[in-house]
Structure formats: C-alpha cells, structure tokens
Amino acid sequence: MTSDRRVEDLLRELAPQVLGALVRRHGQFDSCEDATQEALLAAALQWPTEGTPDNPRGWLITVASRKLLDQLRSEQSRRRREDHIAAATPQAELLGRPADADPATDRDDSLALLFLCCHPALSGPSQIALTLRAVGGLSTAQIAAAFLVPEATMAQRISRAKASIRSSGQPLAMPAEADRAERLRAVLHVLYLVFNEGYTATSGPDLTAPALSDEAIRLARWLTRLLPGEAEVSGLLALMLLTDARRPARTLPDGSLVPLAEQDRSRWDRDRIAEGVALISATLPTGAIGPYQLQAAIAAVHDEAEDVDSTDWPQILALYGLLETLAPNPMVTLNRAVAVAMVRGPAEGLALLAGLESDGRMARHHRLLATRAHLLELSGEVAAAVASYRDAAQRATSGPERRHLAARAARLGGEGAG
C-alpha cells in the first residue's frame, strides 16, 4: 500500500472522530464540519511528505480547532458566537493543544455523530449525503460523482442538511433510550441505501458504483465494532459482504449485465462469502431475528450453491416467507414470487405478481415488468414475455439494465420468430 493510500485511509477513519470532538466542544455542526474538512485537506497535503504525526487525531483536532477560531474571527457577524465559545472553552484548548496530546483525553463521539447525521428532521437523500460527507470523509465532489449529480447540486444538499441540523438545536449526544432503536433503524437504512446504490446504480452508464458499496461496507464494519451486540448491525454487514462478493461476475468486460443464473461463480469473492457466512451463522442464534439478518441468510444460500440448479430454493422461499411477515414491502413480495416460481412453477409465481400490479409503488416499476417477463419466458409464453421485456427496458433508468432487458427481448423475439 502506498504512503498516500495509507494517509487517505487513516484520514477517513479519523474524520468522524475529529468532527465529533469539535461538535461536542463547540456545537455549530456546520462550522465544525467546514473546519474539519480544512484540517483533513491540510493533513492530506502535509503527511505524505512530512510524515504522520505521533498522534494524528490530536494533530487534526488542533488544526481544526484553529481553523474554527479563524472562521469565527473573520466574520464580524459571528463575533458574539466567538465570544461565547471563547468564554465556554479554555483558551489553552483552543490555541495551545499540542499535536501529540494524549488521545485518551478525548472520547470518540463517532457513533453519536452518525446518529446526528441520520436525524429524522432530514430527508433520506440529505441523510445519505451528510453521512458520506461527515462520517465517511468523502468530499462533496466524490459524493456528487457517485450519485451522478453536479457538484453544486450536492453542495446545496449538504448545506441544507447542515442548516437543518443547526436549526433543530440537536446536541451531539446519543439518542435517549426510548428513541435509540428507531434512530438505529434509520442509520442502518441509510447504509443499506448507500450500498444498494453502489451495487446497482439507479441511473447512469455503469451498473455499479464500487466506491459507494465499499464505503457502505467500511461504515458497516465500523458500526459493528462500535455496537458489537446489535444483531441487525451484524446482519447488515453480512448482507453487504455476501451480496458484494458477486460483483466481479455481474458484468462482462464491455460493462453489460450478467444475471445471477448466468454468472461465472468462480469469479465470486470467496473470502467475502466466507466472512459473511461466518458472521450471519454466528448472529442468527443470538437474539431476535430482523430483516437484514434474513436477507443475509437468503444471500448465503445463493452464495453457497455451486450453481443455479443446486440452489436450495425451498429454503429461500421459507426465508422470504419469514421476511414478508416481519417486514412486508412490495420488493420482498417480488423476490418471493421468483422463489415461488422456482419451487412450485412459474404459474404460481405469476399469480403472486398479479397482486403487485395494483400497488402504486410497483405497478409500472421496471423490476416488476422484468420479473414478469422472466416468468412468462419460463412458462413458454414467448410473445407476452417479449412485450414485457421491452416495456421493462423502456422504464429502466440504468443503462446496463436497459440494454440487458432490450437484448433479452430481441433474442427471445428472434427465437420465437424462428
């Protein structure tokens, strides 16, 4: 690993700790976040050539604190706020904190920071953007590139999110016990969305955005270390590992999509599969089963099968039945319909899909149309399958998915004509 890469990894690890320390001391999330980013930039420029300090966290907190004070001094409109901070904080802590200070003097507020970024006052996209920026340490440009939006658009989104945090008056603290479970669900959902966007991008020319998937896995590992007793946290990490293990086989060299049944399983990442299977096997017996654990168990059944024909579809169907009872949503029903078709035949799977056609969230979704096309193809209803593949292709927003569906329609149409 190169020196630059080691520095980058270290900075991303320390970013939430530094920001958490500043917000706890001074409040003002937005100003502290700006100061933290400036300190990270300074470190990225200096450390590769001058060497990493003995206490990199203390160095960053010192520099960020000085940056924050400089910000306050440079804006006359914030003079009162500067006086308040100066009065509330010992001057030695603002100005004289040595770079090699004992790291034990500062507690790690990273978990509280993650909860703050997933504050219920924020919209889903804002929670994702702020989490990637403040906790993940990604730059605005990196986040914008991952989501295929202009940098100015993402900057506005992050700015609004920080303004919402400021106006909420929410301090940097762990949620009260009564709210903690609900807030943790929000945190896990944000990480789940980030991973899914990386695994199958909703739009753009590429099927995947590996930087997002990798970041979601990194944050899930970090959260697992912070909350080792939370089964759903471990379940989410296992799900990510078991799913991402298939990524090397999901596309051909030209970027075209390869469906699960046709993937070269020798290209799957066996280390990630082993880690994910071990994690979910250790987690399932420990407590109440949640949706992420069940999804991880389903992914494990797929990953442990040597090929599609040896897949234990009855077990997958049973797991989807539990998942639909525990966390019903149309996408779960869609996936259960595939399992039903594999166990009981495509006709029963199609009957289950028919119930989703009246659901406004799914009625014209390209994945419902693509699944229907697949089951119609299995049933031998070629003309109907071709029409459904074409309809699905028109509605898909991802370039590789759209091309794959159009190619299926063309191939099947040609075979039917022949």
Rounded Cα gap, residues 24 and 68, in angstroms: 13
Give the per-residue pLDDT at 240.
Answer: 98
- Element (H or E) spanning 125, and its range? helix 124-130
Please give the average per-residue pLDDT across 195-207, as a whole number.
85
Rounded Cα gap, residues 200 and 393, in angstroms: 15
The secondary structure of residue 133, as a DSSP letter, is I
Whole-prediction pTM value?
0.81
Rounded Cα gap, residues 406 and 400, in angstroms: 10
pLDDT, tens digit, for every residue of 62-71?
Answer: 999 998 888 8
Whether the per-residue pLDDT at 89 is higher than 60: the answer is: no
pLDDT, tens digit, for every residue of 46-81?
Answer: 999 899 999 999 999 999 999 888 887 776 555 555
Chain centroid to CA 316: 24
Closest CA to 409 of 350, 369, 368, 357: 369
Band (pLDDT 50/70/90 cuts) for residue 101 is very low
Rounded Cα gap, residues 155 and 34, in angstroms: 12
Asked whether 302 and 245 are in contact (CB, 8 A), the reply is: no
Please give the average per-residue pLDDT across 337-342, as a whole number.
97
Closest CA to 243 of 206, 197, 286: 197
Give the per-residue pLDDT at 86.
Answer: 54
